[in-house]
Structure 1
Amino acid sequence: MDITDRSPGRGPAPEAEDLLIRAAMEQAAEGVPPLPDLVPVALVQGRRRRTRARAAVGAGVASAVALGVFGVALPMWGPGGGSQEARTGSAASRTTTATPSPTTARPALKPVHVEPTDGETPMADLPAAERARQEEFQQQVAVLLGELFHEQLGAVRPVDLAVNRYQGGSDGNTFPLIFSVRPKGDPGDIGADPACVDNPLKGFRCRTAMLPGGIKVRAVTAEGNGNGSQTITGVDLKFTYGTSTVRLSVAGDDSSMVSAPVTVEQLAAAAGDPRFMALVKYADAHPMEDKEHSVRGG
């Protein structure tokens, strides 16, 4: 039957309507170029997007690694001046502080408690902020001295009486240490050191040496009589840095009468360590001790 044949009052049959629509669409599309194949284009764009995404992720990971590496490699400390302290974690997580921080997280060294004698002012009497600064400095010093003299002194701990006092221990003995960076007194207040000459009768030996940077040091080995006729030996190193007099010394154990297990050569080697000089530089710029003064009558 002809699909254009219509009965009165009725539209075309559904099958005929579909054919009419399809024929109209084919006629309208005649002469029009075929649509491009979108599949290859989509594949190429997909590959490019994946490449860009991977590159972005790789850059992010590289940045994170770089931050971590440089966070560890930053100079360790220098509160208020000099090298800035390094902190645990990356550079992005660092905050500014006025006190040095350890390079890695470690338990604080427990200070040795010493009761003050008449005329001594313990660190406990300092203002809170200054006490915290000095205690943090002591922690830095004690850790470094413990590393430099580990074989001779074992662990080194700060002493809570004064910022320049420390204590080492080895084989049941205790050895007092002093690390002092004291501002020089006014002209005329302090006399010059005596000539560096040996005095065998008093068990006194003096040597001079040169640290890196042309710093001249005076190194003394001295015997003391603290228990009858028995003597023990201590060592002392002294030099000038900036506007301060620097002293590093190790004394013997006068209770067991055991001499200091450190030589002046070892003291000089420790003083030449860049980490030691960084501590000296900070303490010279930010004093924690009173000025030198002469002692009348002695």
Structure 2
Amino acid sequence: MDSHDISLLRDTMDRTTDDLPPLPDLAPLAVREGRRRRTRARLAIVTTAFGAVTAGALGLTLLPGANTGVAMPAAVPPSTGATPGAAPSTHYPSVVVEETPGVTPPDNPDGLPEAERERLAAHQQRVAALLDDLLPATVTEIRPVKDNVRWYRITAGGKTFQTTVSVRPTDDRTLEPCLSAPARKFTCEAVTFAGNREAQLRSMPVNTSDTMGSDVTFLYGGSRVTLSVAPENVSAPVTPRQLMTVAEDPRFLDLVRDTDEHPVEKKAPPAIPGG
């Protein structure tokens, strides 16, 4: 490549990145995901421009199926599952949780075939990507729990919290009554979303009267859907309303529909009214 080609490359790179807005001056946690995606977008544009200029300088015609010997840059996929069932572009490493401290759980405790374990792990990756995109920016890490498809670990404020995202087959056709008990700091709010679908948002003390957990429950098809975050010495960093933001997102409802048709959990026992 001569000096003219280098100059052309530089001009092309400058033009393609000039129109991108500067990163906002926000707190680091608030721009964590946005900064990462902005960087990917800039990299995709610049590398595509580089490939086009290089091909032109070398006199190559890049046609489908042409064996040019030049590896073109791959397009960067969207950061979350814009297409239902699509694999997330970011990998969320799984974590092994010792339910009994000091006792490492066995690998593949349910004795599942490898193909089924891979299917469940792919489901967890899809859920983790949605949680990463939809939970508040104060949540800085999402980790699926290995071999427990409904469990996740989220990190906020330097602490880790157990999180449940469950789409479980059930025979229930109605939710139990939504009752509050202010004296016990237990609140339940019924809301309607996605047309006429009912969800129940609960906040309740867990472990102690001062550590609050959050929960959202609704029925979809033949499944009971639950999103919850348990406290860990301090109250859950996500409120029921913030969990509802996840639940009502069209991408999450796409996941729920797919999981209702192809379950990843065993059928739940019937709900106990008032239980």
Please confirm whether the aligned pair reaches a TM-score higher than 0.5, indicating the same fold: yes
Pair 1:128-2:114 in alignment: yes
CA distance in 1, matches of 2:190, 2:138: 23
**CA contact 1:156–1:168 (8 Å) conserved in 2:** yes
Q: Quick one: structure 1 residues 287 and 191, their matched pair in 2 at CA, closer, same or farther if it must change by over 3 Å?
A: closer
CA distance in 1, matches of 2:184, 2:82: 45
- Following superposition, the deviation at residue 265 of structure 1 comes to 1.4
Greater Cα radius of gyration, structure 1 or 2: 1
CA distance in 2, matches of 1:130, 1:286: 12
Q: Of the candidates 266, 284, 287, which is equivalent to residue 242 of structure 2? A: 266
Pair 1:146-2:153 in alignment: no
**CA contact 1:232–1:259 (8 Å) conserved in 2:** yes
- Following superposition, the deviation at residue 128 of structure 1 comes to 0.5
CA distance in 1, matches of 2:116, 2:238: 32
Pair 1:224-2:206 in alignment: yes
Residue equivalent to 2:146:
160
Residue equivalent to 1:250:
229
CA distance in 2, matches of 1:191, 1:121: 36
Letter in 1 for 2:216: L
Q: Secondary structure at the match of 2:259?
A: helix
Residue pairs, 1:1-298, within 5 angstroms:
76-78=83-85, 85=86, 101-102=87-88, 104=89, 106=90, 108-115=91-98, 123=108, 125-185=111-171, 193-226=175-208, 231-253=210-232, 257-294=233-270
Normalising by structure 2, we get a TM-score of: 0.63
Of 262-271 and 281-290, the range deviating more from structure 2: 262-271
- Following superposition, the deviation at residue 211 of structure 1 comes to 1.5
Q: Quick one: structure 1 residues 202 and 191, their matched pair in 2 at CA, closer, same or farther if it must change by over 3 Å?
A: farther
Q: Quick one: structure 1 residues 220 and 77, their matched pair in 2 at CA, closer, same or farther if it must change by over 3 Å?
A: same
Letter in 2 for 1:222: M
Q: Secondary structure at the match of 1:209?
A: strand
Aligned-pair Cα RMSD in Å: 3.2
Q: Secondary structure at the match of 2:97?
A: coil
Residue equivalent to 2:70:
none
- Following superposition, the deviation at residue 270 of structure 1 comes to 1.4
Q: Secondary structure at the match of 1:134?
A: helix
- Following superposition, the deviation at residue 161 of structure 1 comes to 3.6
Q: Secondary structure at the match of 1:151?
A: coil
Structure 1: 5+ residue stretches without partners? 1-56, 62-67, 79-84, 86-100
- Following superposition, the deviation at residue 192 of structure 1 comes to 6.2
- Superposed CA deviations along residues 228-253 of structure 1, whole A, max 9, x for unmatched, are xx520011100010111101111111
Residue equivalent to 1:65:
none
CA distance in 2, matches of 1:295, 1:208: 17
Normalising by structure 1, we get a TM-score of: 0.58
- Following superposition, the deviation at residue 127 of structure 1 comes to 1.1
Structure 2: 5+ residue stretches without partners? 1-59, 65-73
CA distance in 2, matches of 1:239, 1:262: 18
Q: Quick one: structure 1 residues 271 and 168, their matched pair in 2 at CA, closer, same or farther if it must change by over 3 Å?
A: same
Q: Secondary structure at the match of 2:138?
A: helix
CA distance in 1, matches of 2:225, 2:155: 23
Moved over 2 A (4+): 74-78, 115-118, 120-125, 190-195
CA distance in 2, matches of 1:217, 1:249: 13
Q: Quick one: structure 1 residues 166 and 123, their matched pair in 2 at CA, closer, same or farther if it must change by over 3 Å?
A: farther
CA distance in 2, matches of 1:246, 1:75: 21
